[in-house]
Structure 1
Amino acid sequence: MAATTLHDFAAGETDRGPFIPTNRSNNPKAGQWTNRMSHNMIADYKRFLMTDGEGIRCSLYVSGCPFHCVECYNKSIWDFQAGHEYNDALEAQIMDDLSQSYVQGITFLGGEPLLNTGVLLPLARKIRERFGHTKDIWCWTGYTWEELMRPGETQDKLDLLHEIDILVDGRYIKDLHDSLLQFRGSSNQRIIDVQKSFAAGEPVIWSKLHDQERFIPEIYGKDRAAGEGNDSISAE
């Protein structure tokens, strides 16, 4: 299969965020991609996870992404028509799941959430109306914060951003892959406190950021070799 041709549609533009432009994905101009690309399709919905943000969460994966990051782990849902259409039954399930006291919040992933605002913006507003800020909203996006703040970007993206608590921004860049990163795949990506960033006028990193220093299997292996974690008692 031929390799995907990638483009920098904003060639010459500066200050687009860490490592942007990159030759490992498409790079859009402000407002080039919009919710009109969306078919309101959902690739997956997963309940009660601990991998897509802080605490126990529900995760909604929307379909469609034109960034086309090299070695994207969700390449199967680049197609905006993948999956099934968002519906009232799914929304009712999401609301019921979020009502559980042990669920901290919901995470929007994809695909590209900020190109599926027709689904996610009304949902986010309903979550705020019902739960206020007792449930938090996380979102992954291929856009950088700086790209979203550019003049000419579509208002619906900013409207959704105002409903979000934590944004994980930036393309996945395979050359910067690091398995020790918390909730990110490559080191250019940031975990941003959205509301503090709006107040500061610049990206503010999430205060609970804590990347690993060593692989857990490596730590475990060395501890076992040193005799730690061995609870067996030998007979004398």
Structure 2
Amino acid sequence: MNYGQVYYNDVANGIGCRTALFVSGCTHHCKGCFNEMTWDFNYGVPYTKEVEDDIVESLKPEYIAGLTILGGEPMEVVNQKEIKPLIERIKREVPKATIWIYSGYLWEELTDPDNKRCHSEDTDAILSMTDVLVDGEFMLDKKNLMLRFRGSENQRVIDVKATLEKGEVVLSKYNDKDTSRL
């Protein structure tokens, strides 16, 4: 897996001060994508053990809320092979850290074992360790700057733990509009 950037002390991609990992590779190719260069799976630099060590260390200070994984597309099957062990390590070494994932795939696609485009042997484990999933492709015709943590109205901010418990999608309390800009 390659990645384009790691942002430390990011406050735009989830609640609190976070580390954000922008992975490379995306097959969605959404019109108006803010990060088009990351569509290429070869963009950026290789993800290494040293990078993982840095990410894990960055999550340890009390003021860091967690890790956000976005891109590109973290839930491309090839990327899931690296994402799963990263999250497993974080859950072991920094259990206070929340995990947010941004994916163009819908929850229903990710949890469908017959959907080989995005469901792999790693998907269920990744989702079980994820706190919030922002799902759905960015749609330029549904772009709305008043939304929190998402770019278009079709996207959902999902409370993954509650969704898994209930067996149906439960929207996060962060699925509302950003009224601070009114």
2:111 pairs with 1:145: no
TM-score normalised over the length of structure 2: 0.92
Which residue is 2:24 aligned to?
A: 63
Find the aligned partners of 1:99 and 1:212 in 2 and give their Cα distance.
29
Find the aligned partners of 2:24 and 2:122 in 1 and give their Cα distance.
17
What is the Cα-based RMSD across aligned positions, in Å? 1.3
Q: How many residues align?
A: 176
Counting only pairs closer than 5 Å after superposition, residues 190-205 of structure 1 correspond to structure 2 as 190-205=156-171
Which of 53, 60, 82 aligns to 1:119? It is 82
Which residue is 2:131 aligned to?
A: 165
Please list every run of 5 or more consecutive structure 1 residues that lacks an aligned counterpart in the other structure: 1-39, 220-236
Which digits, 9 at most, give the CA deviation of each residue in 1:165-188, with x for residues without a partner?
Answer: 100000001110000000100000
Percent identity, please: 36
Find the aligned partners of 1:41 and 1:48 in 2 and give their Cα distance.
21
Which of 42, 48, 52 aligns to 2:13? It is 52
Which digits, 9 at most, give the CA deviation of each residue in 1:120-166, with x for residues without a partner?
Answer: 1100000001122x110000000011111224132322221111110
Question: Is 1:114–1:160's contact at 8 Å kept on the other side of the alignment?
Answer: no
Which residue is 2:151 aligned to?
A: 185
What letter matches 1:129 in structure 2?
Answer: R
Counting only pairs closer than 5 Å after superposition, residues 217-228 of structure 1 correspond to structure 2 as 219=182
TM-score normalised over the length of structure 1: 0.72
What letter matches 2:82 in structure 1?
Answer: V
2:68 pairs with 1:107: yes
Find the aligned partners of 1:182 and 1:176 in 2 and give their Cα distance.
14
Which digits, 9 at most, give the CA deviation of each residue in 1:71-125, with x for residues without a partner?
Answer: 1111111000111001122111111110111000000001100121121110000
What letter matches 1:141 in structure 2?
Answer: S
Question: Is 2:157–2:174's contact at 8 Å kept on the other side of the alignment?
Answer: no
What letter matches 2:5 in structure 1?
Answer: D
Find the aligned partners of 1:186 and 1:139 in 2 and give their Cα distance.
16
Which residue is 1:91 aligned to?
A: 52
Find the aligned partners of 1:208 and 1:85 in 2 and give their Cα distance.
32
Find runs of 4+ consecutive structure 1 residues off by over 6 angstroms: none
Which digits, 9 at most, give the CA deviation of each residue in 1:195-226, with x for residues without a partner?
Answer: 11011111101124431347x3xx5xxxxxxx
SS of the aligned residue for 1:113 comes to: coil
Find the aligned partners of 2:136 and 2:22 in 1 and give their Cα distance.
17
Question: Is 2:68–2:101's contact at 8 Å kept on the other side of the alignment?
Answer: yes
Question: Is 2:156–2:175's contact at 8 Å kept on the other side of the alignment?
Answer: no
